[in-house]
Amino acid sequence: MTKTLPKDFIFGGATAAYQAEGVTKGEGKGPVAWDKYLEDNYWYTAEPASDFYHKYPVDLKLAEEFGVNGIRISIAWSRIFPAGFGDVNPKGVEFYHKLFAECHKRHVEPFVTLHHFDTPAALHANGDFLNRENMDHFVDYAKFCFKEFPEVNYWTTFNEIGPIGDGQYLVGKFPPGIKYDLAKVFQSHHNMMVSHARAVKAFKDGGYSGEIGVVHALPTKYPYDPSNPADVRAAELEDIIHNKFILDATYLGEYSDKTMEGVNHILAVNGGELDLRDDDFAALKAAKDLNDFLGINYYMSDWMQAFDGETEIIHNGRGEKGSSKYQIKGVGRREAPTHIPKTDWDWIIYPQGLYDQIMRVKRDYPNYKKIYITENGLGYKDEFIDHTVYDDARIDYVKKHLEVLTDAIADGANVKGYFIWSLMDVFSWSNGYEKRYGLFYVDFDTQERYPKKSAYWYKKLAQTQEIDE
Ligand code: BGP
C-alpha cells in the first residue's frame, strides 16, 4: 500500500556552512580549527566545497523547482565574529541577510543552525566548549543573531552535540584529535547542552518570534543477543554515551539516576571526573520545556556485544568496507548481525531504527512537542553518467526511512518534516569529496549542478506526498 505524508509536511534539504560555502579565508571570515586540521590530517580541504557562498541563488532556484520547501543552513560563527566575540564582520552579516532573503523569495523556509561543528579557531584552541568562557561567547553570539536576523523563523542552537564530543575526544577524527577520553566526551556534551539551554532561555526572554530547538544525532543501539544480559548492558551504556545523556539534559533538565549510574561506571573504568554545577542544572531546568522542536539526524543503528578488553576505535574514512573497528573498555563492542546491510563506510542501514528512536523520544520525553528529521540520507560513491547519477540505492534508502516515518506518525508521533542530507553534494568532514549525498550532483571543478535521479523522485514525492511503491 502506498504510504502518504501529511499535507503541511516540510520536504527539506540540509546543508552546513563549512561543508557548503567555501571562501574560508576571504570576506572577513575568521579561521576555524578545521582549516588547519584538514590540511594537516586529510587529503582535502574546505576549498572549494560547493561554493555556496556564491552559488546559493542557483541552489535555491533548484530547490524551488524540485519541490524542496525547507533548507537547513548554518551560520558560520566566525563569519559574524571572526575571533568568536568582539568585532563584528559586516560582510558576514550582509551575506546571511541576502541568503535568507533568497530563501524566502524562493519559498524555501530556512531552518538556521548557529553551530554546525565550526567553533572559531581562537576559542577552539583554548578548549572549545570544555572552556566555560566559550559557553558565554556562544550565548552572546546567539543573542546577536536572534536580534540581527528577525527574518529567521526556525532556529537551531547546535547540530549534533553527541558526534562533536565523540569526534573530538573519543574517535579523534575531528580537531583537536583526542582519542578515548570519555570524561571529555561527557563534559563537552554537558557544557554544550548548558549553552543550548541558556541560548533557548535568552531567545524566549527576548520575546522573539519564531521557534527554537536543537538537532541531535540519535543512532539506535541494540543488543547483539537480546537474551544475553551482558549484551543488553553494552547497548544500554553505548546508548547513554550517544543518546540518553544529551536527551536527559534536553528534556529532563537533569541526568536520571540510571544515566548517572552508567556514566559513573564508564568513568570508573576509563578514568576522569566531571564538573557538573548547580547553576548548570538551573539553566537546563529553566529550558527543558521551552524547546519548540527536536531535530533528529538519523543515519544508522548499531548492535552491541559485551566486551572485555582495551579501547580501540578505527575510523573508516575512505569507504573501504569492513575497515572500521569500535570497542570501548567497560562498555562493549560493535558487531552487527551479518544479514543487515552496510554502506561502504560501514554505516548500518536499518530504517526500523528511526521508528524505534522516534517512539523512544515520544515515550521517555513526552515534553518533546514536535520532531523534524533534520538529516537522513545515503553517502555513496556516485557515478556521474549522462550528466546525471542513477542513484537508485539512495532513493531506496530514503523511501524506506520515510515509510517508517509514516508509521511513527500513525502511531502518534508529532513529526512535521524531513530534510534529506544533503540538498546538493557537499564534502564530508572526515571522508572527503568522494562520499556524496546530494539530490544535485556538484562538479567540484566547474561548480555546475546536475539533478540526480533522486531529485526527480523527491520532486514527485513533495508534489503528491505519496511515497512511491
Ligand atoms: C552529520 C553531520 C553532517 C554530515 C552528515 C554525514 O553528522 O551533521 O554535517 O556530514 O553527518 O556524515 P558524513 O559526512 O560523515 O558522512
In tens, the pLDDT along 53-92 reads: 999 999 999 999 999 999 999 999 999 999 999 999 999 9
Distance CA 26, CA 95 (A): 12
Residue nearest to atom 16 of ligand 1 (CA): 428
When the pLDDT of each residue in the chain is averaged and rounded to a whole number, the result is 97
Q: Is residue 161 part of a domain?
A: yes
Distance CA 332, CA 328 (A): 6
Residues in Cβ contact with 26 at an 8 Å cutoff, skipping those fewer than 6 apart: none
Q: Where are the beta strands (DSSP E) in 75-180?
A: 109-115, 154-159
User: pLDDT at position 468, please?
Assistant: 83
pLDDT tens-digit profile of 227-250?
A: 999 999 999 999 999 999 999 999
Residue 463 marked ligand-binding: no
What's the 19 CA to ligand 1 centre distance in angstroms?
Answer: 9
> Of 193, 192, 186, whose CA–CA distance to 169 is shortest?
186
Q: Which of the four pLDDT bands, split at 50, 70 and 90, describes residue 469? A: low
Distance CA 352, CA 346 (A): 18
> Of 406, 389, 424, 418, whose CA–CA distance to 467 is shortest?
406
Which residue range is the domain that position 40 belongs to? 3-218+293-299+350-467
User: pLDDT at position 1, please?
Assistant: 79
Residue nearest to atom 10 of ligand 1 (CA): 428
Q: Is 428 in the pocket of ligand 1 (CB under 6 A)?
A: yes
Q: Is residue 360 part of a domain?
A: yes
Q: Is residue 153 part of a domain?
A: yes
Q: Which three cell numbers stand for residue 366?
A: 513526552
> Of 78, 166, 163, whose CA–CA distance to 125 is shortest?
78
Q: Is 160 in the pocket of ligand 1 (CB under 6 A)?
A: yes
Residue 297 marked ligand-binding: yes
What's the 430 CA to ligand 1 centre distance in angstroms?
Answer: 9
Distance CA 274, CA 188 (A): 10
Model confidence at 363: pLDDT above 70: yes
Q: Is 374 in the pocket of ligand 1 (CB under 6 A)?
A: no
Q: Is residue 287 part of a domain?
A: no
Q: What is the CATH number of the domain that holds 438?
A: 3.20.20.80
Atom of ligand 1 nearest to the CA of 428: 14
The CA-atom distances, in angstroms, between 178 and each of 43, 167, 392 are 20, 8, 38
Neighbours of 337 (CB within 10 A): 10
pLDDT tens-digit profile of 339-356?
A: 999 999 999 999 999 999
Q: Is 16 in the pocket of ligand 1 (CB under 6 A)?
A: yes
Q: Is 113 in the pocket of ligand 1 (CB under 6 A)?
A: no
Number of H helices and E strands in the chain, helices first, is 16, 17
Atom of ligand 1 nearest to the CA of 19: 9
Model confidence at 97: pLDDT above 80: yes
Q: Is residue 71 part of a domain?
A: yes
What's the 429 CA to ligand 1 centre distance in angstroms?
Answer: 7
Residue nearest to atom 12 of ligand 1 (CA): 428
* Domain tally, the chain: 1
Residue nearest to atom 9 of ligand 1 (CA): 16
Q: Is 391 in the pocket of ligand 1 (CB under 6 A)?
A: no
Q: Is residue 257 part of a domain?
A: no
Q: Is residue 279 part of a domain?
A: no
Residue 78 marked ligand-binding: no
What's the 86 CA to ligand 1 centre distance in angstroms?
Answer: 30
Q: Which of the four pLDDT bands, split at 50, 70 and 90, describes residue 226? A: very high
Q: φ and ψ at 84, to 5 degrees?
A: 100, -25
Residue nearest to atom 15 of ligand 1 (CA): 428
Q: Is residue 332 part of a domain?
A: no
pLDDT tens-digit profile of 393-434?
A: 999 999 999 999 999 999 999 999 999 999 999 999 999 999
